[in-house]
Amino acid sequence: MDCDTARVLLHGHLDGELDLILDHEVDRHIEQCDRCIAEYAAIRALQTRLKDQSLYFEAPAELKEKTRRAIHRALPRAQASPSIRRSSVRRAVRFAIPMAVAAILALLIVPSAIRPGHNEIVAQEVLASHVRSMMASHLMDVASTDQHTVKPWFNGKLDFSPPVVDFAQDGFPLVGGRLDYIDGRAVAALVYQHGKHVINVFMWPAAPEAAHSAKIETQQGYNLEQIAVAGMNCWIVSDLNPTELAKFGELLRARG
Amino acid sequence: MPDETTAVDFERTFLPHMDAAYNLARWLVRNDHDAQDVVQDAYLRALRFAGGFRGDNPRAWILAIVRNAAFSWLKSNRGSDPPVLFDENVHEGHAEETGLEADALRKADATMIRAALEELAEEFREVIVMRDIEGLSYKEIADAAEVPIGTVMSRLARARTKLAQSVKNRIAKG
């Protein structure tokens, strides 16, 4: 290696951006070249000085606040656009008060009468969350295939600890998790993959509702399944075909 | 995505990178007031184009927009001032003969380094800010500055050599 090449590559070397072979060649050149070793030391000294706190300009708090306000002005949350999630939220809100009244009446009179309606809304929310997560803005808060990383991540973020199991050996690797909001509460969302399909699993502690027949519904081309896992209410949603989704549901029920 | 982007989604993805955005803008336009304008402008532009973001690296994505906003600002506000170009004859002196000395650089105080970096041409200043101050990888810099990865290393090499030389000249002048 000649000096001209080494003088460029030593930067990649210092930055840990070279492959092993080049790294080694740079080392070998530097060891026997006084000028390059001096340059290497000088650049390293410069890099150290550049880490000085006073050279980093943090964003002023007023800028953060100002920008947040500008974003909200430019894009109000209730913007009228054909979003599944928002329409489902709006629908949920519109029905919230009548439903609360109905729920009280139902508890007194016909305990199971309103459940399908409630479940339907939850199903809509689950589906909307899945669709939204696929829009790539926010699939995962914690990206890890390691269940021992994902599970502790939820600590302190939820008032329960969801079962997190990796099913990589069965063809359904865990890829990450995030917080989501379903049925008026914070829930755990676990993200699995099967081939190119993404599976979202939403979990939260279940009120002991009527036993769910593990029936798969299809809505807007997505398949949804609701099951009970370790005392959790659990919704599985994906564009995966119903057979494979059922297989995944079985795994979750058996080992979750 | 624009239709489905809520302010909350957008904030959750991009607001955590506002320090990085401001730091880059601040180094490029070199004053607080204009850097704030540039960042705010960039965030509003980002909001419009959020549909083009595919979830890979929000920091590099927002920095690319901040960088473009900063360069448009520089272009329209430079007025009659000549662009800041590094005068190699003045600053580089006899670098080839004297070489760079690590000891001298270790002694350089932050004010001196800051002045030298502010004087560096923008294409060199930005790679040093992104790599040595912000800690971006070459890949992230390549994405943000929209140049090939190989260019990142050669530009960094030139930028650091110029900066080191400039700091050394300042030390020599006292």
pLDDT, tens digit, for every residue of B44-61? 999 887 766 766 789 999
Domain definitions of chain A by residue range: 3-54, 57-114, 118-255
Question: What is the structure's pLDDT at A27?
Answer: 92
Pick from A46, A75, A138: CB nearest B13: A138
**pLDDT exceeds 70 at position A94:** no
- Mean pLDDT, chain B, rounded, equals 84
| Better pLDDT: B81 or A151 | A151
**pLDDT exceeds 80 at position A120:** no
The most distant pair of C-alpha atoms in chain A lies apart, rounded to whole Å, by 91
Question: What is the structure's pLDDT at A92?
Answer: 55
**pLDDT tens-digit profile of B32-48?**
999 999 999 999 999 88
A13: its two tokens: 């070397």
**pLDDT tens-digit profile of A210-236?**
445 567 888 878 899 888 888 888 999
- Mean pLDDT, chain A, rounded, equals 80
Interface of A with B in 81-100 (CB under 8 A): 81-83, 85-86
Cβ-based neighbours of B16, under 8 Å, separated by 6 or more? none
**pLDDT exceeds 70 at position A95:** no
- The arithmetic mean of pLDDT across residues A138-159, rounded, is 81
The span from the CA of A182 to the CA of A252, in Å, is 20
**Does the reported pTM lie above 0.80?**
no
**pLDDT exceeds 90 at position A91:** no
Interface of B with A in 27-56 (CB under 8 A): 27, 32, 35-36, 39-40, 43-44, 47, 50, 53-55
Q: Does residue A67 sit at the B interface (CB-CB below 8 Å)?
A: yes
Q: Which amino acid is at B147?
A: V
> How far off is chain A from B78, nearest CA to CA, in Å?
22
| Better pLDDT: A100 or B9 | B9
Interface of B with A in 55-74 (CB under 8 A): 55
CB-CB under 8 Å, B10 with A8: no
B33: its two tokens: 């007031």
Does domain A118-255 fall into CATH 3.30.200.100? yes
